[in-house]
Amino acid sequence: MKFDLDTAWKDTTSLLTRNLGLLAVIAGVFFFIPYAGIAIALPGMGELETAQASGNVDAMMAAVTDLYKTYWWVFLIIAILQGIGLLSMLALVRRRANPTVGEALSTGLRSVPSYIAAQLLQTALIAIIAALLVGIGAVTGVSALAALGGIIAFVVICYVVVKLSLAAPIIAIEGELNPVKVLRRSWALTRGNSVRLFFFYLLLLVAFIVLSAVISLVLGLAFAFAGEQAALFGDAVVSGIVNAAMIIAMVCVMAAVHTQLSRFASHGLAGAED
């Protein structure tokens, strides 16, 4: 049986409707506050925004590099906090025992090391693939082969990301803490449905980008009329809200996809290897 986009979307909206209040609270604590706090309070964000506004790619990359070099520990703490928040939200919406918020947070705290390890393994795999495919074309000295290698690398990386996209729900919902087994389980669950999943994710991503751009533009203009400082504060708040909303939607999507594919696997209905 193949992955059904309509069923996944209905399950996503159902999860969102039933759990919006609790998800919004957790997303606010673990995503909105850290994201908006960095944008408002972290020194160096002003230089980054100036570089972005200038359109100078070199200046923007230099500002990003300086920011991460100086405040890497801040971003590490936030990454850990957001990992806990993500896993807690997944546990909250799909754990069969209907956990309390405290129990869901405990699940997130306990399983975040496994999540970080799985993310590091995935990142290493993607880096190796990119280096091999791009490097092979680059060493030939032929620009056409280098470009082709880059295109192939992009396609393969998209495939790998889709195949491993269920790592977080496997950890939070199934309770699997071995990062290698987590990635193998995600690869197995998505078997035969990678293309459908890719287009489902892509459609949702495009829709969210358009919607968030409109919201950011409208609210950004409203804050801009209040002055430069108000505009900077408003941009941080709006960006934080958009980021939290994206996480809430992503959690419900991942939980819905995981549920449908797990149901296929439990009945032996997964498609052939793609």
- Cα torsion 119, 90, 166, 197 to 10°: value is -130
Note the pLDDT of residue 105: 93
272 falls within a domain: no
Q: Are 250 and 177 in contact (CB under 8 A)?
A: no
**pLDDT tens digit string along 102-124?**
889 999 999 999 999 999 999 99
pLDDT at 223 over 80: no
Q: How many domains does the chain contain in total?
A: 1
Q: Region 184-213: what's the mean pLDDT?
A: 94
The whole-angstrom separation of Cα 200 and Cα 189 is 16
Report which of 75, 50, 49, 48 is spatially closest to residue 62, judged by C-alpha positions. 48
Note the pLDDT of residue 54: 60
57 falls within a domain: yes
pLDDT at 133 over 60: yes
219 falls within a domain: yes
pLDDT at 269 over 60: no
Which residue range is the domain that position 194 belongs to?
5-266
Note the pLDDT of residue 175: 92
Mean of per-residue pLDDT scores for the chain: 86
**pLDDT tens digit string along 138-185?**
777 777 787 888 899 999 999 999 999 999 999 999 999 999 999 999
274 falls within a domain: no
DSSP result, 174-225: I----HHHHHHHHHHHTTT-HHHHHHHHHHHHHHHHHHHHHHHHHHHHHHHT
**pLDDT tens digit string along 52-94?**
666 667 777 777 788 788 888 888 999 999 999 999 999 999 7
273 falls within a domain: no
H/E element, 160 = helix 143-163
The whole-angstrom separation of Cα 227 and Cα 223 is 7
Instruction: For residue 272, name the pLDDT band (cuts at 50, 70, 90).
Output: very low
Two structure tokens written together for 110: 């306990």
Note the pLDDT of residue 215: 84
Which residue would you say has higher pLDDT here, 41 or 168?
168
247 falls within a domain: yes
Note the pLDDT of residue 271: 45
Note the pLDDT of residue 139: 77
Instruction: For residue 50, name the pLDDT band (cuts at 50, 70, 90).
Output: low
271 falls within a domain: no
The whole-angstrom separation of Cα 165 and Cα 255 is 11
Q: Are 161 and 183 in contact (CB under 8 A)?
A: no
